[in-house]
Amino acid sequence: MAYIDKITNEILGALRPRSSEIVRCRFGLGAEEPQTLEAIAQPLGITRERVRQIQEDSLSELRPLAIHNKNLAKIIVLAKKNLSQSFGAGHYYDTAHDVISKVDPGRINDGLVRKTVFLLRLVPEAIFYHPEDDYHYHFFAVSRDHAEEVKKRTKKILAFFENEPVIHKSRVLDALEDIFLERKASAEAVLRFLRILKTLDENPYNEIGLRDHPRINPKNTRERIYVVLLKHGQPMHFRELADQLNQLPGLASTASRDGVTGREFLNRAWQKAVHHQTVHNDLIRDPRFVLIGRGIYALKEWNYEPGTVKDVLIDILKEKRRLSADELVKEALRQRQVKPATVLINLHDKKTFVKKSDGNYTLL
């Protein structure tokens, strides 16, 4: 039996069978995830309010017993030790995960995480639990004072990200050094701390930023295409783009409830599979993308202008006035990924281009 299971059974063993079962169902301490008051009440033939009362009475009964449980005291010490390494606070899943990795190595699963969170919340005198709010996920802190310090840091962190919405994770320690002034602060500790904040998230490119920023939480396929192209840094064929989108890691975000499903960044937007044609259609419709070759697209912000090869040649000659065929081919191929012969064929349009006696071309 897992160590966490042993403590959970010890604690709940003090309750009457029905009360114990209600607590197990409510907090997901069995095989299933947490149940609603209504789901628990119906099979028992009682009201939702009665279930809530039994739950509260049971917790009140358990807390004095939990304080004196030596096995529970052990995991509280472990939890607080880990919290102290990340500025005195940590996301509830991280806190539970750290404890389980010490006392039940190799057995980490959502059920054990839920039980660990439940046990730690039974002793508020020893470890402080902060419920979810507008800015934070549920988190544990070494003390109430540490929880208040989390809120102060949150304001400063959000002020930073308002000015710089997205940064690479490798820069986080330098970028936030004025907020985390503790000696020997590590990037890992700062990143663990940031996992408490609901307003931040990550993308598959190891960037962290405001959750509602399109590079972090793209709202549609076009936004995802833009991020992939931007990070790739050079033009891509629409099939290659679609394949890369489908190969990106996509992890579900944490559920915002008392149950535990895992704490992972990366919004669900990155999970959705795409078809080649869908990507192609979005590339065609969005002015941010420029067709520069057969199925090959670039970002307009990379100084690519939309239009045909002929349009590109016209723009070049408007600026340069007079160029040889070789010079025109060289200039055109900076804007389009086509064969040189394609450029030369376009120069045969006598209604647009004039070949002078010296072999140079101008506009008609």
For residues 84 and 186, state if they share a domain: yes
**Tens digits of residue pLDDT in 195-249:** 999 999 999 999 999 999 999 999 999 999 999 999 999 999 999 999 999 988 7
pLDDT of residue 254: 40
Residue indicated by tokens 């990143």: 191
- Angstrom distance (rounded) from CA 11 to CA 14: 6
Q: What is the pTM of this model?
A: 0.79
| Burial (Cβ within 10 Å: 0-12, 13-18, ≥19) of residue 15 | buried
For residues 47 and 169, state if they share a domain: yes
| Burial (Cβ within 10 Å: 0-12, 13-18, ≥19) of residue 240 | middle
State yes or no: pLDDT of 256 exceeds 60. no
State yes or no: pLDDT of 132 exceeds 70. yes
For residues 329 and 280, state if they share a domain: no
CA–CA–CA angle 22, 34, 2 (5° rounding): 85
Helix (H, G, I), strand (E, B) or coil at 155: helix
What is the number of domains present in the chain? 3
**Tens digits of residue pLDDT in 275-317:** 999 999 999 999 999 999 999 999 999 999 999 999 999 999 9
**Tens digits of residue pLDDT in 25-44:** 999 998 789 999 999 999 99
Domain end call among 286, 305, 324 = 305
pLDDT of residue 250: 55
Among 235-244, 268-277, 322-331, the range scoring the smallest mean pLDDT is: 268-277
Phi then psi dihedrals of residue 209, to 5 deg: -175, -170
Over range 74-98, report the average pLDDT: 94
Residue 23 domain boundaries? 1-198
For residues 236 and 340, state if they share a domain: no
Looking up residue 344, the CATH number of its domain turns out to be 1.10.10.10
Q: Are 271 and 250 spatial neighbours (Cβ–Cβ below 8 Å)?
A: yes
- Angstrom distance (rounded) from CA 33 to CA 44: 18
Rounded to the nearest integer, the mean pLDDT of the chain is: 91
Q: Are 138 and 129 spatial neighbours (Cβ–Cβ below 8 Å)?
A: yes
